């Protein structure tokens, strides 16, 4: 069987690249270097020592409005 004339114009396929991983060097360690600090262990957000309250504070715990200014008046004019 003769090859088709349009396929003879196609350049040959390039060689396949080497897919084998390079061998590990014998001096490579799996441990971190000694100068690396320990990873940060606390999650992002409030630190455990200063957690937010689990619920809203009671109304009586809120500061009272200042005396002498009626509520909703907007202050002194």
pLDDT band, very low/low/confident/very high, at 77 (cuts 50, 70, 90):
low
- Nearest 10 degrees: CA dihedral of 52, 55, 58, 61? 0
Cα separation of 47 and 74, whole Å?
A: 39
**pLDDT tens digits for range 15-69:** 888 777 767 665 555 665 667 666 666 666 656 666 666 777 666 656 666 666 5
pTM of this structure = 0.17
């Amino acid at each position: 069987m003769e090859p088709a004339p349009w396929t003879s114009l196609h350049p040959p396929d390039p060689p396949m690249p080497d897919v084998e991983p390079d061998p590990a060097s014998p001096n490579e360690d799996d441990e971190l270097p000694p100068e690396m600090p320990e990873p940060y262990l606390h999650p992002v957000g409030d630190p455990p020592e200063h957690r937010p309250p689990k619920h809203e504070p009671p109304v009586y715990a809120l500061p009272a409005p200042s005396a002498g200014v009626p509520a909703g008046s907007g202050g002194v004019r």
